[in-house]
Amino acid sequence: MSNEHQTLNFSDQDLLGKVASVDTSRVAIDVSNSTLLTRIGVGALIGIKGTTEHEYLVGIAERVTRSLRDELPDDLPQGDELIALSSVPTDVVQCVMIGTFRTVDGSKTNTFKRGADSFPQIDRQCFVIAGANLQRFMGILGADFPENERLKLGKFVADRTADAIISGDKFFQRHAAILGSTGSGKSYAVALILERASKLKFPNILVFDMHGEYEPLANKKGGGFATRFRIAGPGDLEAPADDVLFLPYWLLNRDEMLAMILDRSDQNAPNQASRFTRHVRKLKQQTLDREKKVEIAKTFTVDSPIPYELSDLMECLKKDNTAKGVGVGGKEVKGEWEDKLTRFISRLDSKIEDRRYGFMFKPPAQASNYDWLAKQARNLLACESGCGIKIIDFSEVPADVLPIVTGTLARFLYDIQFWMNPDKRTPVTLLCDEAHLYLPVRDDADAVQKQALGSFERIAKEGRKYGFSIVVVSQRPSDVSRTILSQCNNFMSLRLTNETDQAVIRRLMPDSLAGLTSILPLLDTGEALVLGDSVLLPSRIKLDLPTIVPSSSTREFWKDWGSQSPNVDAISNAVECLRSQTRGV
């Protein structure tokens, strides 16, 4: 092979300097070519000559410094006249070792792998990988992944002619996080990834959409590809449309239900919990008997999602609460549970009556059918009605129940995946937009939030084994559960201006890469630093624009004020919407 075709082909102009010091993963380069120094910044790629001529160790510049030191001139005068010290710059580039490039590697040529096989040696020559070298080098990065694994995200900032390709398999396999301040381009990034996935035959991604932003992606007339569902709002209870989702109370396990209804500070809480558990179990048993599900009746538990009627539960609880006991000689005494369930009953009652909780406590009649749940699961997890990308709109769910709804739905989906025959299982990803709203840091969570958090943390910890992963999207990484973030193996970080948020990301990085986070506040809109096992190199990528953009909530204040008068009727209507707790009157 002639030199011209080699991926890395350095000339003297590319020579930056020599290795001056080495510690485990970092190398300081004593720069001899000062003009080159002005052209490199944090993130620049450096090739260091390895132990053989076929090998280069590849590093990323994380600090570029110039300091001046005083030096005696080279030719000292003979006499005793005063000598002026001259200021000479000492230029140092510190870089992190990230991989090894080989022009020849066994039978292969031009290979790059993560990790440095050997330590760089002192005085080895260091080159800047730029221009044509960079172009060819970036080219091999994506080419390293098999064709059917490639997920194209955009272009490398370092070289805008090279496609930035990551491994779609690895990105989704072991959880990912998309982080960035508002307006940095997260939603667009999500839309882009969904769009790329939609080109696959059977993608299976469920998007938890908090603001109804991704609706255009499901708008078939506008070229949308996704299927959209909506969590039932107060206006959907009477005649729910097909795309309206209910999460009936009987889907909740015992702990989820109690987290919502039980007041733990009540001295009767233990009694209330135990009566509730007993009755629910009994009612579920009755359903199974009626449906003649003999096998299931042998092994089910109180947590099994089996329909029962709330009115029956209420009746049992009220009976407990009023029943008298029988004392010595058949005398009537205060009952064992008498008056102890009053507050529990009224708390349950107020939830049932609150129409905002209708999606849970007022499911349509057909939801009580034993077979309804399987149908619901198929709607959510299969691709029968077209594309397997589903947008679930939570925009009408009240904030105080958001954690329990997201948590219950996530757990339900995960449980199905968990119990599925492993030979027939296909991978599923949950994309959690605005995750700080329902996956908070544990210390800040209340009982309901903790319960929901538990479901997600379980998925984060064990989901991979069952082909179930999550993608966390948030503008406030410092408010997102650390347990969940620390399970993420891939990070796509867009511009992040807040210092506390940057610190979170820094802590999640392997030590050697922490320095790269210094570019986070400087990233342009739609630019991301992508790190993790889905990329061979931590890379700064300018993301492509999605064809169908999410509906932006960004209003053009100044322009609008210049042209649009507030709509009086819309204001009156909004008041009615507020009263009815439904949109679109």
Ligand X SMILES: Nc1ncnc2c1ncn2[C@@H]1O[C@H](COP(=O)(O)OP(=O)(O)O)[C@@H](O)[C@H]1O
Question: Which of the ranges 19-27, 123-131, 181-189, 353-361 carries the binding residues for Mg ion, by CB under 5 A?
Answer: 181-189
The least distance separating ligand X from the CB of residue 558, rounded to whole angstroms, comes to: 16
Q: Does 182 bind ligand X (CB under 6 A)?
A: yes
127 binds, among ligand X, Mg ion, none (CB under 5 to 8 A by kind): none
Q: Does 477 bind ligand X (CB under 6 A)?
A: no
Cβ contact 543:527 at 8 Å: yes
Neighbours of 330 (CB within 10 A): 6
213/320 with CB nearer ligand X: 213
Residue 427 main-chain phi, psi, to 5 deg: -70, 150
401 binds, among Mg ion, ligand X, none (CB under 5 to 8 A by kind): none
The least distance separating ligand X from the CB of residue 183, rounded to whole angstroms, comes to: 5
350 binds, among ligand X, Mg ion, none (CB under 5 to 8 A by kind): none
Residue 97 main-chain phi, psi, to 5 deg: -80, 130
Q: Which of 482, 528, 470 is nearest to 508 (CA)?
A: 482
The least distance separating Mg ion from the CB of residue 185, rounded to whole angstroms, comes to: 8
Cβ contact 561:550 at 8 Å: no
Give 81's strand partners: none
187/272 with CB nearer ligand X: 187
Between CA 251 and CA 392 the distance in angstroms is 18
The least distance separating Mg ion from the CB of residue 186, rounded to whole angstroms, comes to: 5
The least distance separating ligand X from the CB of residue 433, rounded to whole angstroms, comes to: 8
350/552 with CB nearer Mg ion: 552
Residues 187-246 that bind ligand X (CB under 6 A): 187-188
The least distance separating ligand X from the CB of residue 187, rounded to whole angstroms, comes to: 3
For helices 254-261 and 402-419, give the axis angle rounded to 10 degrees.
170
Using CB under 6 A as the binding criterion, the count of chain residues that bind ligand X stands at 14
Got the DSSP string for 419-477? HS-TTT---EEEEETTGGGTSB-GGG--HHHHHHHHHHHHHHHHGGGGTEEEEEEES-G
Between CA 345 and CA 110 the distance in angstroms is 71
Give the SS3 label for residue 92: strand
58/543 with CB nearer ligand X: 543
Binder among 545, 574, 578, 585 for ligand X (CB under 6 A): 545
44/190 with CB nearer ligand X: 190
Question: Which of the ranges 183-191, 366-374, 384-392, 556-564 carries the binding residues for ligand X, by CB under 6 A?
Answer: 183-191
Residue 309: both structure tokens together: 């009627």
The least distance separating Mg ion from the CB of residue 187, rounded to whole angstroms, comes to: 3
Name the closest residue to ligand X (Cβ). 526
The least distance separating ligand X from the CB of residue 212, rounded to whole angstroms, comes to: 13
185 binds, among ligand X, Mg ion, none (CB under 5 to 8 A by kind): ligand X
Residue identified by tokens 């790190």 is 531
Q: Which of 171, 228, 225 is nearest to 195 (CA)?
A: 225
Between CA 521 and CA 498 the distance in angstroms is 8
Query: What secondary structure letter does DSSP report for 513?
Result: G
218/381 with CB nearer ligand X: 218
Between CA 520 and CA 528 the distance in angstroms is 8
Give the contacts of 441 (CB within 8 A, at least 6 positions apart).
Answer: 478, 479, 480, 481, 482
The least distance separating ligand X from the CB of residue 339, rounded to whole angstroms, comes to: 52
543 binds, among Mg ion, ligand X, none (CB under 5 to 8 A by kind): ligand X
521 binds, among Mg ion, ligand X, none (CB under 5 to 8 A by kind): none
Binder among 317, 472, 543, 548 for ligand X (CB under 6 A): 543
Q: How far is CA 95 from CA 63, 100, 151, in A?
A: 7, 14, 28
Give 490's strand partners: 176, 532
The least distance separating ligand X from the CB of residue 181, rounded to whole angstroms, comes to: 7
Between CA 545 and CA 543 the distance in angstroms is 6
Binder among 184, 321, 502, 517 for ligand X (CB under 6 A): 184
Question: Which of the ranges 94-102, 179-187, 241-249, 351-359 carries the binding residues for Mg ion, by CB under 5 A?
Answer: 179-187
Between CA 472 and CA 429 the distance in angstroms is 10
184 binds, among Mg ion, ligand X, none (CB under 5 to 8 A by kind): ligand X
Q: Which of 458, 438, 455, 436 is nearest to 446 (CA)?
A: 438
526 binds, among ligand X, Mg ion, none (CB under 5 to 8 A by kind): ligand X
Give 128's strand partners: 46
367/543 with CB nearer ligand X: 543
Binder among 150, 170, 186, 355 for ligand X (CB under 6 A): 186
Q: Does 481 bind Mg ion (CB under 5 A)?
A: no
Q: Does 436 bind ligand X (CB under 6 A)?
A: no
Q: Give CA 26 to chain center in angstroms.
A: 30
Cβ contact 164:158 at 8 Å: no
Using CB under 5 A as the binding criterion, the count of chain residues that bind Mg ion stands at 2
Q: Does 94 bind Mg ion (CB under 5 A)?
A: no
Binder among 554, 563, 564, 565 for ligand X (CB under 6 A): 554
Residue 195: both structure tokens together: 């769009």
Residues 513-532 that bind ligand X (CB under 6 A): 525-526
The least distance separating ligand X from the CB of residue 153, rounded to whole angstroms, comes to: 9
460 binds, among Mg ion, ligand X, none (CB under 5 to 8 A by kind): none
Cβ contact 120:6 at 8 Å: no
Give the SS3 label for residue 245: strand
Binder among 94, 110, 187, 451 for Mg ion (CB under 5 A): 187
Cβ contact 162:33 at 8 Å: no
Binding site for ligand X (CB under 6 A): 180, 182-188, 525-526, 543, 545, 552, 554
Binding site for Mg ion (CB under 5 A): 186-187
